[in-house]
Structure 1
Amino acid sequence: ADQANLVRSGVEADLLSRLDAVERTSADLDVVSSKVIELRGQIEDAELLVRSLRTSADERAVEAYMSSWSTDIGLVVLSADLTQALVLEDVAETAREDDLAQINELTIQRRILNELRSDQESEQQRLRRIQDDLTSQVNVLEQLFLQADVEVRAAFLAVDESDRQYRAARSKAVVAQRAYDEAQRRLRIGRGVERWRPLVQKYFPPELIDQALAVMYCESGGDPDATNPRSNAAGLFQFLRGTWAIASVRAGFGGYSRLDPEANIASAAWLVDYSIRTRHPAGAWGHWSCRP
């Protein structure tokens, strides 16, 4: 039995470590995805500017050709009025300078556009590498969960179903109280996570209560139904499926939904205590991207 517990603890420690890596990779994926989207917008702006400059340059070329009689140096020399000749020559020189400036601007913008396209290609390649890395990490996690103890494995497999059932059970109550909640929200804007303080006090040690509320505010804003569309993290402390499978079982809430406030808070308290006991490199809150 002791040997089995030792093996189980080792598997769970490995799982939590790898879940940390998945969390970091997911965060990288968010950053790079945002960068690719930002570059796409910059490229569209640059392409529009280059097209505008090119059109303007073409129009100026036609205009210069059509009005060449007024800027031809020979006609300037033949002008009867010396003052008029000097003015025409000055106009011609200004036009030439404007043309050169526009050509230079077009060249610069084309260079910027090429650099943006190159940056976008690099970021897209990086994005593909991160996506491949994330897929590989998830595959390893699934294999590790097959080695975990029965209760943890069952909790992992049941996470999505537990969330679905929890949402279904609450749907009628949510609809019925929506107007009331909205009124309360308007009356108590900024209340945020304070409504969860009693539960946080129940599961966290006194010195970590304010830290826990700060992390909760950063992760979900105190919304127990909050779900990250990219990582699928959910609940007050934004648990990933794998982390939830372990933490909820060890906290005594195996089979509960991540959207259940008390289960989520209790599991977060267990995970923080685990991080302290095992001296997580990033500290008590090392399993979260938000820090107090």
Structure 2
Amino acid sequence: MHDNSTSGAAVGFLLGLIDSGDAARIRGRIGLPEPDPERTPQARRNVEMWSWTRTPVPASVLLWVLEEDDPDLNLSVWRHMSADNAMRRAIVRGVPFGPGREGPLTVVDGLGMELEPPVPENYTRFGLVGALREGTSMQSARTAASMVLKPSDWQAVMEADGDRPLPGYARWALSVRPDCPPELRARFGTHRKFTHRVKEAGVLDSPADYATAWGPASHVLKVLSSGQLLFPARVSEAEDALRPLVREHLAGHEDAWSVLAQLVDTFHGNAVELVVTAGAVA
């Protein structure tokens, strides 16, 4: 097992949740090397920023990275295969995502305004709210929704919907934006089927939700291991959600970790199911 593999990163992330002495012993038992001490944090960060752009992730994961308001991380989101036009537009315009922060942010060289996705024709003709009301298909609604960037835009949308409900396509296109204000999304729908569809679209409550309910486990844990560099302000929420479970079912038990290392590559369930299964088998 290699530390830079998906399975190695997944197991390494979980080992970081137990006593360091036990973790070092278990690494030796399952053949997982310690991280390269000669690789600087910046060098590892550069590798992670490049490699993760080819890894599909829920939209909320990209939002957690954007919340760092780091121009270099924003570049990695712009390049990411899961980024949409709304995110790319915001990045090119230097829009901040961190709570309470004001912009514009510095935009790295190479991300000039010429790379901004085309401004919708309906937006030019009718303005933000008008474009949303003109959306007669999911495609046109998503295109109009990509122009909602700043808190003032979201406020305008909330006021417009309060005056006269927006069309269904526009409501859905806004609901599946990970940065949609929770109170607005709740106004659009609270039925269990609605919230399930929103989650299926990649909008998650928190990193804890991602860590415990999303799968497959190896993929999620690999992303979370990168999160220690890409979204450090939020990854602790995932660690806190998994730590009690890991300590209860795995702790310092070498056999349980050996089983987990054997299962992780082919396990289709989430991280909670992986940990519980490994502990039960051992």
Normalised by the size of structure 1, how large is the TM-score? 0.24
Higher helix share: 1
Normalised by the size of structure 2, how large is the TM-score? 0.25
- Larger relative contact order, structure 1 or 2 (CA cutoff 8 Å, min sep 6): 2
